[in-house]
Structure 1
């Protein structure tokens, strides 16, 4: 797949911190995949799948011209891919990656409403109207991370008591790149542990996503891959790791019930973006915590200055 020159100029600033999240690349030995498995028992656990179908090799896909979707006003573009070898399954559907750049600090307009700034970019993975190969199909995405060996990557879960922006979701996963012998953070990848089964991105359409253990890959990329093209001769001095993200909940709906799946991540340089309480939440907390204290104080004052004597 080729990048348009315009897209390269638009997006490459956010990879200057030398970390690259790779979804699409060439070379049979190193191609990454979208997995589909038949979850007859409805456990949403890929290790208990009744059948794992041959994975979709993204290097074998035919990709539409990204320049057709490049929007300089909204700073967005889409990579829409189709599997030629399974054309019947992709007749009206596609697997796509939607990317967005930002000029200011703010939140995405749709759920999960990820926080962003000018040093971050959003990438959204979408499976839309692809015909499932099983009656109980679910999907899992393999994500690969490439970075300089001078860094080591730390993965952690961030919990919050505030679900104002993403209702019922109190957890975020972060992958941060930290230089050796330093506490400074060079880059990050973060996502809410939620995906959506409708392009309306409503709370009722949400399903959990699960991140599996980060695995080190002791291989390299071919020169004609995206990672090979960006890192060039320095690729041999990079760390490469992969992580699988699966989607769904036990006893929940299958992909065929909606024929749509969307999951978003934020990629950036510098410290990870942190959610803070909004003024509305602070006011609600102040009222909720302050009112009982105020009533207690008033009660003590009334008792102290009351004319009633002690009860024997």
Structure 2
């Protein structure tokens, strides 16, 4: 009979072995900076190709036109994306076969609003000033291009003046499913990209004593233009990765909302007011209603979508604003960061990590193992007990 201590060690080793299994790649990824541009010494457009078993996800991460843009194009395995350049930005983008689907987002404007009611969100009554990113000049701070990860970090000055603060954007793609390293630890997959936006030391407008900031996002999908994006807030009992935040917001294209392979944004309604993220530095992220709009004329979005049927192109915008009542407004910390994922297909669902599964397995397995060991011990002892002896009186 194996002692209980040895059984526990074997169980623990098996669980740790399960945890340490390496990720298998769901797609084969490759990337290229400024493809087909022979004279591009500055400016960054990163083309990422992710080949799966049945289709290819092409992504364009563009900062050449000023407006940060992420484009997804879904095609067959043999299709290629081509582009021609005008000086330092793409003039025309096309794919060699009819794409199965396309979805894109762009952050075209930053709004400063005077939150006089201390609501935390931007509304129609809030005095505001807008800063368009179409003239922004982005510098590349970091880049990683391997077959295991593609990573890009960009930065631009607020209002074209380094003394007035900066905006930073990080993008990360992995060819397998995983949780982001930083809070709120969003899930990103081979079909999605993790995006992180930070507003650092923004100078506030004179006369605005309750300044907050909001981002305006343009969303484009190859859907019926008469429809609308779909907003869903899901409740989750799992706050293992983002303590105290039990909501997940998903914005789906009509194709994705009806169960097809459309596009989506996924994020938790939380931002952070310090670079070191934690529960104490968290704040609310608010989503506005959706509004019909048009693709910006001088943009990478237009370089691709101007050849599409306008009736089969859905273009809407929305605001993401940050703050909550009593938090001291933006000036309290002079920093706000927010993370989201943009992807294709069904948005990923949360699940318990292997560490939690291991703890649950140990917690449930130990009592069961002890109980079984006790039963086996009692049965063995009973089996080995000698039978009753008859007393014989000596003569």
TM score, norm. by length of structure 1: 0.77
1:16 aligns to 2:73 (yes or no): yes
Contact 1:39 1:49 in 2 (8 A): no
Distance 1:148 1:50, change over 3 A: closer
Consecutive unaligned residues of structure 1, counting only runs of 5 or more, are 24-31, 292-312
Consecutive unaligned residues of structure 2, counting only runs of 5 or more, are 1-32, 36-43, 50-56, 60-71, 75-101, 368-395
- Give the whole-Å Cα distance in 1 for the aligned partners of 2:186 and 2:341: 7
2:114 equivalent among 35, 38, 43: 38
- Give the whole-Å Cα distance in 1 for the aligned partners of 2:230 and 2:103: 13
Q: Partner residue of 1:70?
A: 143
1:172 aligns to 2:248 (yes or no): yes
- Give the whole-Å Cα distance in 2 for the aligned partners of 1:35 and 1:20: 21
Structure richer in helix, relative to its length: 1
Distance 1:235 1:220, change over 3 A: farther
CA RMSD of aligned residues (A): 2.9
1:105 equivalent among 170, 177, 202: 177
Q: How does 1:251-270 map to 2 (within 5 A)?
A: 251-270=326-345
Measure how far apart 1:257 and its partner are.
Answer: 1.4
Contact 1:194 1:209 in 2 (8 A): yes
Q: Partner residue of 1:250?
A: 325
Q: How does 1:111-260 map to 2 (within 5 A)?
A: 111-133=183-205, 134-150=208-224, 153-179=229-255, 183-217=259-293, 219-222=294-297, 224-234=298-308, 236=310, 237-260=312-335
Distance 1:69 1:230, change over 3 A: farther
Structure with the bigger RCO (C-alpha within 8 Å, sep 6+) is: 1
Paired residue total: 271
Contact 1:37 1:49 in 2 (8 A): no
- Give the whole-Å Cα distance in 1 for the aligned partners of 2:174 and 2:200: 25
- Three-state SS of the structure 2 residue aligned to 1:8 is strand
Measure how far apart 1:107 and its partner are.
Answer: 0.5
Distance 1:126 1:188, change over 3 A: same
- Give the whole-Å Cα distance in 2 for the aligned partners of 1:101 and 1:209: 23
Distance 1:106 1:235, change over 3 A: same
Higher Cα Rg, which structure: 2
